[in-house]
Structure 1
Amino acid sequence: MIEISVDAAACNGCGLCVKDCPMRVYELKDGVSVPVRPENCMGCLSCHEICPAQALEHRGVYPSKRHYIDIRVCEMINRVL
């Protein structure tokens, strides 16, 4: 499982990770990004790449397993399974 941590002191609350994450992992709470659905993280690291403060850290992500799937595709797969 991927472990996500946010450096609250570094996070500027811009919300780019919230908007960019295809799996809706993040929400802004009290001006700081919070991974409210970390189990949805698929390790694409788009949030990490877009964060201007570099406030996000992901443990358990391996480059060979990184891929991008839209939330609609994942929802469809979950319905089938």
Structure 2
Amino acid sequence: MEIHVDKDACVGCGLCVKDCPMHVYELQDNVSVAVRPNNCMGCLSCHEICPAQALEHRGIYAARRHYIDIKVCEMLRKVV
């Protein structure tokens, strides 16, 4: 999977940073950057919350979208 952030579309709201349970994103110069793309579980919660639709996850298809509860993410962090 590859995460692409459209820097021209990103409005720097930071919703993806706050919403991502795996801390994949950071704001740099008011633009979201996937600084830890290997942490991405593919839940696509960031994609769903982005008001500018600036995030693209290449290699994941709409039929496979799923949301993983934060408690599950915390459990995974302990294992990983």
List alignment gaps of at least 5 residues for structure 2.
none
Q: Where does residue 61 of structure 1 map in the other structure?
A: 60
How many residue pairs match? The answer is 77
| TM-fit CA distance, 1:60 | 1.4
Q: Distance in 2 between matches of 1:35 and 1:23?
A: 11
| C-alpha distance 57-64 of structure 1, shift in aligned 2 (>3 A) | closer
Q: Where does residue 75 of structure 2 map in the other structure?
A: 73
User: What percent identity do the matched residue pairs reach?
Assistant: 65
The structure 1 segments of at least 4 consecutive aligned residues displaced by more than 3 Å after TM superposition are 62-67
| C-alpha distance 46-32 of structure 1, shift in aligned 2 (>3 A) | same
**Mapping 1:2-81, distance limit 5 Å:** 2-62=1-61, 63-64=63-64, 66-68=66-68, 70=70, 71-78=73-80
Q: Residue 61 of structure 1 aligns to a residue in which SS? A: coil
